[in-house]
Amino acid sequence: METKRAIERLGRDLGIPTGDAYTQDWAFELPEAYRTDPWLDRYLEAFVRSDYGWHEREELLDLIFDIVNERLTADADAGARLWHRVRSVVDPYLMLHRERVAYWACPDFTLEEAFAFAPFARALLDAPAAAPARR
Quick: pLDDT tens for 69-114: 999 999 999 999 999 999 999 889 888 899 999 999 999 999 999 9
Q: How far is residue 4's CA from residue 91's CA, in Å, rounded to a whole number?
A: 25
pTM value > 0.95 = no
Q: How far is residue 83's CA from residue 72's CA, in Å, rounded to a whole number?
A: 9
Length reported for the chain: 135
Task: Give the residue-averaged pLDDT of 55-64.
Answer: 95
19, pLDDT greater than 70: yes
Q: Are 72 and 117 in contact (CB under 8 A)?
A: yes
Q: Are 42 and 124 in contact (CB under 8 A)?
A: no
Amino acid at 129: A
- Per DSSP, the three-state class of 43 is helix
